[in-house]
C-alpha cells in the first residue's frame, strides 16, 4: 500500500541524535522564549556522551537558570526528543 512520507524517516528518528550545536542553539532559544534570558551559545557547552549542559555565564543568570532547570529540561525533551535532550544542567 501507500506509505506516508513521514513513516520513511522513522528508522532514522530512532537512531540519530541531535548534534552538539543543535542542542546548544535549542537551549538558548528556550531560555529566550520562556524567560527572556539572552544567552550566547559560546556561554554553553554540551557533552554528548553524558548529556550534560555546562553553563559559563554570570553568577546571577546561572542561578536563575539552575532554579528553573527541571522546566527547561522538559521543554528541551519536547523539542529535541527523549534521545537527544540533555539530562542535566550544571
Position 5 scores a pLDDT of 72
Q: What is the mean pLDDT of residues 67-71?
A: 97
Assess whether pLDDT exceeds 80 at residue 3. Answer: no
Convert the pLDDT of each residue in 18-65 to its tens digit. Answer: 789 999 999 999 999 999 999 999 999 999 899 999 999 999 999 999
Position 17 scores a pLDDT of 76
Q: Which cell goes with 8? A: 520513511
DSSP state string for 8-73: GGHHHHHH----HHHHHHHHHHHHHHHH-----GGGEEEETTTTEEEE-S-HHHHHHHHHTHHHHH
- The Cβ-side half-sphere exposure at 80, using a 13 Å CA radius, reads 27
Position 15 scores a pLDDT of 72
26 contacts 79 by C-beta, under 8 angstroms: yes
Amino acid at each position: 500500500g501507500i506509505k506516508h512520507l513521514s513513516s520513511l524517516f522513522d528508522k532514522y528518528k530512532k537512531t540519530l541524535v541531535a548534534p552538539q550545536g543543535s542542542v546548544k542553539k535549542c537551549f538558548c532559544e528556550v531560555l529566550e522564549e520562556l524567560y527572556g534570558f539572552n544567552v550566547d551559545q559560546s556561554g554553553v557547552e554540551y557533552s554528548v556522551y553524558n548529556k550534560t549542559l555546562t553553563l559559563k555565564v554570570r553568577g546571577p543568570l546561572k542561578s536563575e537558570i539552575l532554579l528553573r532547570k527541571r522546566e527547561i529540561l522538559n521543554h528541551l525533551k519536547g523539542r529535541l526528543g527523549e534521545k537527544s535532550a540533555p539530562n542535566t544542567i550544571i
